[in-house]
Structure 1
Amino acid sequence: MIFLFFCLISSFTTERLTFNNEAEWVPSIVVDDASKIHIAYRYPDQIRYITDKTGSWVIDSIMVSASLVSIAVTPAGTPHLAFEASDGDDEIYYATKVGAAWDIDTITNNAISSRCPSIALTPDSIPHIIYYDFEGGLSLRHADKEIGTWSTEVIPGTSIATYSSIAIDNNGGVHVAVVCGTYGGNREIVYANDTSGSWVSTGVTGDALDDDFPSIAVDNNGYAHISYEKDDGADWELWYAENTTGSFVAQQLTNNVGMQDGGYSSIAIDGNGDAHIAYHEDHLVGDLIYLTNRSGSWETDTIFASFSNKTYSWVDRNICIDKLGFVHACFCNQLGGSGSQELYHAVRDEAVGIESPSFYASSDEQCIYLQWSVNLDDACLNSVITRKSHFENGNFIEVARIPHSSSSPTPKTYSYRDKDVNPGMRYYYKLGIMD
C-alpha cells in the first residue's frame, strides 16, 4: 500500500515595479475584468499610475504637489483616480484616462482643506468619491457624477470625520465606513449607506476605545465587511466587522502584546463572501500580513517580510481579487533603511474566487488516485498538481496540469492517477487552480 498525505498550501510571489531610488508612497490597487493590474501611488510629491494592461509595466505621471490617492477601474480597464493635491490648501481632484491623455476635474476649490479621498464606481462606471474637509468641523462629503456633472453633499451622521473608505454594491448602492470623533476613547467606526434612496448611518463599534483606519468592501448580497484597528488601552489590534445578520458583529483578529497591529488594513471580499485582509504587523515596522476566513476560521500568511526595513501601504484598497480568484496586493518597501521606497506588487499563488471544496485521495499497489471538485468553473483555468515525497526536502514538483473543460456555475469534478510512485513511500500533494 502507498501511504500519502495531501494539502493545499499557498504563498505570495512579489515583483518589484520601480527602481527610482526615490520615495514611493501609499499605493492603491485594482484589477480589471481581463485581470490586468492598475496601481496609483505617490512619487515623491506627484501622483503616478502604473499598469500592465499592454503586457508590460507602463508608468504615467498625472499631477505634482499631490499626496493621497485612491483608484477604481472599469471592467474594460479604464482607470479612475481620486487624489489630494495642494494649491496652498489641500483640494480633491478626479482623473480618468481618455485615450492617451488624462482628463482632470477639480472636485473642491476653496480655502478649506479637503483630504483623504476614496473612490468607487457603480456597475455602469459612474464615479463616486468620499473625502473629509474642515468646513463645519470635519464633515464627510460625498461627490458623484450621476447627472454628468459633479454634485456634492454632506453625509449625515458623520461629524468629526477623518479616514474613510467607500464601496458600491451590484445595484449601485453606496456604502461608507468612516472614523468619527476625537482621540481619547471617542473615535468610532460609523457605517453609512444610501441603498434606501437616502443616507442611513449607524455606529459599528460603540465602545470606549479609539478606532481608526477603516476599509470597507461589499459582498454579492450587499452586506458590508469592514476591517479597522482598535486601541484596547495597551496596544492597537486588528478588528473585523460584518452585518450579514442584519446588524454588525465585530471580532478581534490579532492579540500581540506590545505591538501595534492592524495599521492601514485593507479588505476585499471574494465571490463566496469570504474576507481577505492585508495589514501591517506593528504598524510600519513589521511584516505585511494577509488574513482570510475562507476555510471557516482565520488563517494567516506573510505577503512581505520587511525584516529591519519599513513596508508602506495605504488603508484604501491595497488588496483586491481578480476575476480568476487570485489575490493581489501592493506596497512600498524602504530599502536598507534608507529614504528610498520602491513599489511592489504581490499575487497569491492560489485562486480563492474559484473554490475547491473537496480534494480526495486513495491508493493501491499501482498508483495514487486524486479527485477534486471546483465551484464556478472556468474553461481558461487549469488544475495544477504538485508533489514531493516524505524523504524530499526540496520544493514541490509539478506532476500534472489538467485543463478545465468548460465554464460552469455548478461544481465540476476532476481526477488524476499518479502512477510514478513507489510502494511504501509517503507522498505530499498540493492542488492549485491556475490560469
Structure 2
Amino acid sequence: MRKIVLILLAGVLMLSAVEWEIEQVTDDLDRYNYEPSIILDGENPLILFEQFDDADYDFLKLAYKDNGSWVTEEVLDFDAALYNFAMDSEGNLYIAFTDRVGEYEENDLFLATDTSGEMVVHRLTEQAVNYRFPVIRLDENDNVHIAYSEGEVGEFHEDWIHYGYFEEGEFRSEVVAEHMIGTYNFDFVLSSDGIPHVFYGFYTDSDGKGLMHSFRSVSAEWREEIILQHPRVVPYNPSAAIDEHGKFHVSWDLNSSYILYATDKSGS
C-alpha cells in the first residue's frame, strides 16, 4: 500500500512540474473584451472574441500572432453576441452569426468568409423571425453546413431547429425539428459522407421529454430516433462528436445534477 501511495504522489509531483506559458492577448483597457473562442491554424492559435466600447458598439475581433507578438484586427461590426466559426483546409475563416435587422429587430442569419482575401458578409435569411445560436461545420470538401434555432427567448419555449447548406450557390434550409425545449439545446456533427446528425432535448405530448437524434437520410428526409426518454426532466446542453469509425459520442446534463454520456454500439 505504501508503494502505491508513493507512486501516486510521484505522479502528482510530475504533473505539477509542467510549466504553462501565459500571455496577455489584449491590452485595450478602455474596452470590454470577452467570450474568446479559439481554433488552431496548424500550431498557430487564432482567437475570436467580442469587444464592447462605451459608445454601445459591439465588434467581433480576431487575435493572432505575427512575428511573436499578438495582433488584433476587427472582423465584424455586429450587434448580436451569437456566433460560431470554423476554418477550411486552406486556412480561410467561416463565421456564422445572427444580427438584429428590420423594424422589430428580429435576428437574421449571416455568413462571413475571407476566401477572397478580405472578410465578406453574406446575408442568408430575410424572414421576420428570430434566428439564433448558429453552429457551423465544414465537411471533408470544405462545404458549409449550418444548424441554427428559431424561436423566442425563454427556458421552456419550444424552438425550431433548422439545417442550412449551399446548393448551386444558393443557401437552402430545412426544418429539422419543431419541438426543441430551450433556446440553445442542440449540437450537430457531420459523418464522413457529409450527412448531418442533430442531437437535441425535446418535449412532445406523445413522446414526453428526452434526447432526440435526427439525421438526414440519403433521400433528403429527416429521420428521428429517441436516445433517452424521461418522465419529468428535459436533457440540456448536449455536446456531440463523431470518431474516425463513425461512432457517435454525446454528453448532456440532466436537471443540472447529472452529466450523462451515450454512444451507439454499431456506429450506424
Residue 100 (structure 2) aligns with: 181
Distance 2:195 2:66 in 1: 30
Distance 1:105 1:301 in 2: 46
Aligned to 1:345, the other structure's residue is in SS state: strand
Aligned to 2:81, the other structure's residue is in SS state: strand
Code of the aligned partner of 1:219:
D
Q: Quick check: 1:251 aligned with 2:174?
A: yes
Residue 323 (structure 1) aligns with: 244
Code of the aligned partner of 1:130:
L
Aligned to 2:170, the other structure's residue is in SS state: coil
Once the two structures are TM-superposed, the CA of residue 108 in structure 1 deviates from its matched residue by: 4.0
Which one of 173, 180, 199 corresponds to residue 119 of structure 2? 199
Which one of 107, 112, 118 corresponds to residue 25 of structure 2? 107
Aligned length: 242
Whether the aligned pair in 1 keeps the contact of 2:181 and 2:234 (CA below 8 Å) is: no
Change (3 A) 1:236 1:102: same
Residue 75 (structure 2) aligns with: 155
Q: Quick check: 1:134 aligned with 2:19?
A: no
Distance 1:210 1:276 in 2: 23
Code of the aligned partner of 2:229:
A
Code of the aligned partner of 2:117:
G
More helix by share: 2
Q: Residue deviations 1:102-146, cap 9 Å, x none?
A: 444443453544343333223x23222323232361222222346
Aligned residue runs from structure 1 range 227-242, under 5 A: 227-231=147-151, 236-242=159-165
Distance 1:299 1:147 in 2: 50
> Between Structure 1 and Structure 2, whose CA radius of gyration is higher?
1
Percent identity (aligned): 23
Aligned to 1:305, the other structure's residue is in SS state: strand
Whether the aligned pair in 1 keeps the contact of 2:253 and 2:259 (CA below 8 Å) is: yes
Which one of 255, 260, 265 corresponds to residue 344 of structure 1? 260
Distance 1:248 1:309 in 2: 36
Once the two structures are TM-superposed, the CA of residue 217 in structure 1 deviates from its matched residue by: 0.4
Distance 1:261 1:201 in 2: 28
Change (3 A) 1:182 1:333: farther
Q: Residue deviations 1:362-419, cap 9 Å, x none?
A: xxxxxxxxxxxxxxxxxxxxxxxxxxxxxxxxxxxxxxxxxxxxxxxxxxxxxxxxxx
Distance 1:280 1:105 in 2: 38
Code of the aligned partner of 2:233:
N
Task: Please list every run of 5 or more consecutive structure 2 residues that lacks an aligned counterpart in the other structure.
Answer: 1-14
Taking structure 1 as the reference length, what is the TM-score of the superposition? 0.49
Once the two structures are TM-superposed, the CA of residue 350 in structure 1 deviates from its matched residue by: 3.0
Aligned to 1:312, the other structure's residue is in SS state: strand
Change (3 A) 1:264 1:214: farther
Once the two structures are TM-superposed, the CA of residue 321 in structure 1 deviates from its matched residue by: 1.6
Q: Residue deviations 1:282-322, cap 9 Å, x none?
A: 5xx942322211443212223443442343316xxx22221
Distance 2:223 2:182 in 1: 16
Aligned residue runs from structure 1 range 346-365, under 5 A: 346-351=262-267
Residue 36 (structure 2) aligns with: 117
Distance 1:289 1:299 in 2: 10
Aligned to 1:287, the other structure's residue is in SS state: strand
Aligned to 1:281, the other structure's residue is in SS state: strand
Distance 2:100 2:67 in 1: 33
Residue 332 (structure 1) aligns with: 253
CA RMSD of aligned residues (A): 3.2
Distance 2:67 2:185 in 1: 34
Distance 2:158 2:105 in 1: 13
Aligned to 2:224, the other structure's residue is in SS state: strand
Taking structure 2 as the reference length, what is the TM-score of the superposition? 0.76
Distance 2:240 2:152 in 1: 26
Change (3 A) 1:345 1:148: farther
Once the two structures are TM-superposed, the CA of residue 209 in structure 1 deviates from its matched residue by: 0.6
Once the two structures are TM-superposed, the CA of residue 213 in structure 1 deviates from its matched residue by: 0.8
Q: Quick check: 1:301 aligned with 2:225?
A: yes
Distance 1:307 1:321 in 2: 28
Q: Residue deviations 1:52-80, cap 9 Å, x none?
A: xxxxxxxxxxxxxxxxxxxxxxxxxxxxx
Residue 90 (structure 2) aligns with: 171
Change (3 A) 1:322 1:200: same
Residue 268 (structure 1) aligns with: 189
Whether the aligned pair in 1 keeps the contact of 2:79 and 2:100 (CA below 8 Å) is: yes
Whether the aligned pair in 2 keeps the contact of 1:131 and 1:164 (CA below 8 Å) is: no
